Structure 1
């Protein structure tokens, strides 16, 4: 009995630490050959993942490969991992907007890389690599929003589910086209989609490869709302204004809020409660808390 309790406590501690440190899902123990797949991905260049960090604590991550509807090349996958690491270390960050260059979101993977790395082992390594990266993205202590302009197809649709929220512009669509490619989602999109819309709706979206326009996405709970403008610059401004209502306040408090939600989503109840206790301890009696108490902050 004592051994079983010790193992349970150890597993709980590991789970809490994995959320705090941004640890990945897979390593060599799972057959993940990270360095090998990185070398292969490096051979397929083009496009970029650009990140700007504003003084208000809002970051903007841009998928930039407009010639291929912002499809992920191998080097873009590597750059995404680097940007996520940078965001994990952004002490002043509060929010993140992800969008695609030139008014479209992302069409998934670059087919040139897909054709060249078609072996089962390569496929599994890419799957684990992208699941690692997008899980770390989802766990960022930042409130994240996918701004869906134009099309989010396949892996692009999966990418949107790694964000906390999705906003869509008029005429845009999200579509899980994997069935038409003889596949299922491999970047974690199916598991996250079930969490967002439920298993029944997720099954329909995947098995039917259905086009989800903004109205349907809002109805399903896949998107928060449809923004007024389809103009690239204007819709980005609208997304920033939408996100600002949730990122007002000190960065350490916003980050703590995101952390307790992540713990509640991913951990079993007792482990989530302990994680919440630990996170609570990082803000209680700290400057933001003491200032609010001194000001006798009233809630209107």
Structure 2
């Protein structure tokens, strides 16, 4: 009997992983590379010319990370250097094997007002715009694929690129009096960090078209009704709202780290892969958990409860 269990466990753990699954979960895998005409190092040199602000990451012992956009003098708008630092922090999170959850927020009670206009004005050619688009799509896709359950804490304004950023998180929470707005139409462009694609998935194609083409100002009540956010918090205070967000996230991150991370990977696969590949991913992930410590402990506990 025991040998049969060992054989099954071995089969599950050694089952071949599909190419699509490997690409989805390979650490550091980007959407674009030189074959697409994207030269990351060249873009980095350009972005380095636009300093200001920081991206701060705090990793707690309970497996929850807090990522803070910190450029309050410009309502936490992304400078070029902040874009570079965001990629660095995402890479750090990709390698944080103890992580289970992530909260993304802005400093001083404002989420993010988009891109720093100094950088936008300097990057004036279509080639510049597309290169920046590829860079940020790469970064936010990698953030979205992290095996961490992520929550955007929207305080104050989430405008333009800030509104796009929150769509890369699994969940969104808003404080009273805050606002989400995709202002791209008024800038003569469209979302280019993946925001339009992700927004359509979150609230549906028709509603997304209304939000984008109308440059609608979504307060917390409207955003909740649209399904854009998952909950409106009680407090607008920076410290208190972060505490509320941490408590809200806790209900989804309690449990063994390896199980939470595997659940996130399975859901990501269902979203991005074909049905067959997603099923194969579930199988492969199960092989890393079945008969493992968390599984055995849970079975033992259940046995005690049934007596």
TM-score, with structure 2 as normaliser: 0.92
1:293 aligns with 2:299: yes
What residue in structure 1 maps to residue 231 of structure 2?
225
1:117 aligned residue: 123
Farther-moved stretch of structure 1 (16-25 vs 197-206): 16-25
Matched, 1:14 2:19: yes
The equivalent position to 2:200 in structure 1, one of 169, 189, 194, is 194
Equivalent-residue separation in structure 2 for 1:111 and 1:17 (angstroms): 38
Quote the Cα distance in structure 2 between the aligned partners of 1:77 and 1:282: 35
Q: 2:138 aligned to 128, 132, 139, which one?
A: 132
Tell me what 1:61 maps to: 67
- Whole-angstrom distance in 2 between the partners of 1:295 and 1:205: 48
Maintained 8 Å contact 2:161/2:191: yes
Q: Which residue of 1 aligns with 2:154?
A: 148
* Distance in 2 of aligned mates of 1:294 and 1:58: 27
Structure 2: distance between partners of 1:150 and 1:63: 13
- The answer on 1:104 being equivalent to 2:110 is yes
Take 2:124 and 2:296, find their aligned partners in 1: how far apart are those partners? 57
Distance in 2 between the 1:108 and 1:36 partners?
A: 22
Pick from 241, 253, 261: which aligns with 2:259?
Answer: 253
Residues 76-122 of structure 1: per-residue CA shift (max 9 Å, x gap)? 00000000000011111000000000000000100000111111111
Shift of 1:58: 0.5
Corresponding residue number in structure 2 for 1:4: none
Equivalent position of 1:7 in the other structure: none
Q: With structure 1 as the length reference, what TM-score do the two structures score?
A: 0.94
Q: Are 2:276 and 1:270 aligned?
A: yes
- Residue aligning to 1:5: none
Measured after TM superposition, the shift of residue 17 of structure 1 is: 1.0
Q: Give unpaired runs (5+ residues) of structure 1.
A: 1-11
User: Quick one: which of 177, 187, 202 aligns to 2:183?
Assistant: 177
Secondary structure, counterpart of 2:73 in structure 1: helix
Q: Which among 171, 179, 201 is matched to residue 165 of structure 1?
A: 171
C-alpha contact 2:18 2:280 (8 A) present in aligned 1: no
**Cross-structure match for 2:249:** 243
Any idea what the Cα deviations from partners look like across 1:222-242, whole Å, max 9, x if unmatched? Answer: 100100000000000000000
* Residue among 19, 27, 39 paired with 2:33: 27
- Match for residue 77 of structure 2? 71
Which string of whole-angstrom CA distances, capped at 9 and with x for unpartnered residues, describes residues 257-290 of structure 1?
1000000011110010001111111111111001
Q: How many residues align?
A: 288
**Residue aligning to 1:88:** 94
The 2-side partners of 1:228 and 1:114 are apart by: 36
Q: Which ranges in structure 2 are unaligned for 5 or more consecutive residues?
A: 1-16
Separation (CA, whole Å) in 2 of partners of 1:45 and 1:278: 43
